């Protein structure tokens, strides 16, 4: 999954291994490191944790952090577990952390984590339900693409089918899932197939939240090396917009909050699906016709 630089947020730089990433919707959350880095750390487009060796923090350290946060912050409503896939921890390791958070923060109403398919599939339904009951209520999963060839090429570490099953099982257990797709990941040539397959995979998932971000080749990643070597052409802003339109057009969702207003996108969009589908498509059409200005390249962020 792509992430967003969050810094130490409200706790300054206390016991964080920088850089720290979190989803935009966790901007107000207390960020609690339970792991460092990403257990997979191989996706071709991602440089977020390349400088960090994956490690699980000892429970003693995590519990000390919670006590410190209680002293510094008083009460908090939301907690986000760091780092790249804190959900890799077994239920036996996560449950005491969730219990300590509940005990420390009486107003706590949700704990979130980045989630990989394997993190979910390695847990039983009962374990997933216990985690949700103990407060783990939202997981952020990078689908990136519904196209199996694109997923294999970017070394995602899970198949599309596995990601679909993981989202279904997590949601059935009470963990709301926020799924991310990456515009431009298949280059200009693979754009139409990537869009069609991504819409199909998202339809099978029926996630509570869906965000689409736009890929940018980050130096030091295999994706950037491919781009520099001329292997595949990244889509132009207009081609990325057309890809966005194909995906939105193909979505058949029953109750999803949709966002493509991340700093990496050329056109910020937000709405609820299915209610806002026609409005979203009309906005994309206006942008394609040049009647709405796109975010210029120099203002796009990762
Ligand atoms: S799973 Fe892939 S995209 Fe997500 S943090 Fe790890 S390397 Fe990056």
Atom number of ligand 1 nearest to Cα 84 = 5
CA 190 to ligand 1 centroid distance, Å: 22
Confidence at residue 266, expressed as pLDDT on a 0 to 100 scale = 87
Confidence at residue 277, expressed as pLDDT on a 0 to 100 scale = 98
Confidence at residue 5, expressed as pLDDT on a 0 to 100 scale = 37
CA 247 to ligand 1 centroid distance, Å: 22
Walk along the chain (302 residues) in steps of 10 and give the mean pLDDT of each run: 41 74 94 96 93 95 95 95 97 98 97 97 98 98 97 96 98 98 95 98 98 90 87 89 97 97 87 98 96 81 62
Of the residues 84, 85, 156, 157, which should be mutated to test ligand 1's pocket, given the most ligand atoms within 8 Å of the CB? 84
> Is residue 112 within 8 Å of 138, Cβ to Cβ?
yes
Q: Where are the domains of the chain?
A: 9-299
Residue of the nearest CA to atom 3 in ligand 1? 1
Of the residues 4, 19, 39, 48, which should be mutated to test ligand 1's pocket, given the most ligand atoms within 8 Å of the CB? 48
Kindly report the three-state secondary structure assignment for every residue of the chain. CCCCECCCHHHCCCCCCCCCECCHHHCCCEEEECEECCCCCCCCCCCCCCCCCCEECCHHHHHHHHHHHHHHHCCCCEEEEECCCHHHCCHHHHHHHHHHHHHHCCCCCEEEEECCHHHHHCCCHHHHHHHHHCCEEEEEEEEECCCHHHHHHCCCCCCHHHHHHHHHHHHHCCCEEEEEEEECCCCCCCHHHHHHHHHHHHHHHCCCEEEEEECCCCCCCHHHHHHHCCCCCCCCHHHHHHHHHHHHHHCCCCCEEEECCCCCCCCCCEEEECCCHHHHHHHHHHHHCCCCCCCCHHHCCC
80 — phi, psi (to 5°)? -120, 125
261-301 residue pLDDT tens = 788 888 999 999 999 999 999 999 999 999 998 887 777 76
Q: How far apart (Å, rounded) are the C-alpha atoms in residues 215 and 144?
A: 10
Confidence at residue 262, expressed as pLDDT on a 0 to 100 scale = 80
> Is residue 88 within 8 Å of 120, Cβ to Cβ?
no
The region, left, alpha or beta by phi > 0 then psi within -120 to 50, assigned to residue 32 is: beta
Give the contacts of 252 (CB within 8 A, at least 6 positions apart): 203, 274
Ligand 1 site: residues with CB under 6 angstroms? Answer: 1, 38, 40-43, 46, 48-49, 84-85, 116, 142
Token pair, residue 69, equals 């946060």
Residue of the nearest CA to atom 6 in ligand 1? 41
Q: How far apart (Å, rounded) are the C-alpha atoms in residues 251 and 202?
A: 7
11-47 residue pLDDT tens = 544 688 989 999 999 999 999 999 999 999 999 999 9
Confidence at residue 15, expressed as pLDDT on a 0 to 100 scale = 83
Atom number of ligand 1 nearest to Cα 116 = 1
Residue 233: burial class (beta carbons within 10 Å; 0-12, 13-18, 19+): exposed
CA 283 to ligand 1 centroid distance, Å: 31
Confidence at residue 174, expressed as pLDDT on a 0 to 100 scale = 98
Which CATH fold topology does 9-299 show? pyruvate-formate lyase- activating enzyme (3.80.30)
Sign of the Cα pseudo-torsion (122, 125, 131, 136, in order): positive
> Is residue 100 within 8 Å of 66, Cβ to Cβ?
yes
Atom number of ligand 1 nearest to Cα 38 = 6
> Is residue 9 within 8 Å of 26, Cβ to Cβ?
no
- Nearest C-alpha neighbor of 119 from the set 74, 60, 54, 59: 54
Q: How far apart (Å, rounded) are the C-alpha atoms in residues 144 and 180?
A: 6
Q: How far is CA 269 from CA 178, 210, 228, 275, 291, in A?
A: 16, 12, 30, 14, 15
């Amino acid at each position: 999954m792509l992430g967003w630089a969050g810094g130490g947020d409200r706790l300054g730089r206390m016991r964080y291994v920088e850089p720290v990433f979190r989803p935009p919707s966790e901007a107000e959350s207390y960020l609690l490191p339970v792991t460092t880095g990403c257990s997979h750390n191989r996706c071709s487009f991602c440089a977020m944790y390349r400088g960090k060796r994956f490690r699980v923090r000892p429970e003693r350290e995590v519990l000390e952090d919670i006590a410190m946060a209680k002293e510094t912050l008083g009460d908090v409503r939301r907690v986000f577990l760091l780092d790249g896939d804190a959900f890799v921890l077994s239920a036996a390791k996560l449950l005491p952390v969730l219990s300590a958070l509940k005990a420390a923060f009486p107003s706590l109403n949700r704990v979130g984590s980045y989630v990989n398919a394997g993190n979910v599939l390695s847990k039983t339904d009962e374990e997933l339900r216990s985690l949700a009951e103990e407060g783990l209520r939202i997981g952020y999963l990078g689908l990136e693409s519904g196209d199996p060839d694109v997923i294999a090429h970017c070394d995602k570490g899970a198949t599309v089918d596995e990601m679909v099953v993981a989202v279904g099982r997590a949601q059935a257990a009470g963990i709301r899932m926020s799924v991310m797709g990456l515009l431009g990941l298949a280059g200009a040539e693979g754009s139409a197939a990537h869009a069609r397959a991504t819409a199909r995979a998202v339809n099978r998932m029926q996630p509570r939240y869906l965000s689409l971000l736009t890929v940018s080749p980050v130096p030091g990643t295999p994706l950037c090396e491919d781009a520099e070597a001329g292997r595949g052409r990244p889509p132009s802003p207009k081609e990325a917009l057309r890809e966005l339109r194909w995906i939105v057009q193909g979505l058949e969702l029953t109750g999803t909050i949709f966002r493509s207003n991340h700093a990496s996108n050329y056109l910020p969009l937000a709405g609820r699906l299915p209610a806002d589908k026609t409005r979203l498509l009309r906005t994309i059409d206006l942008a394609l016709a040049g009647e709405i200005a796109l975010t210029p390249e120099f203002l796009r962020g990762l």
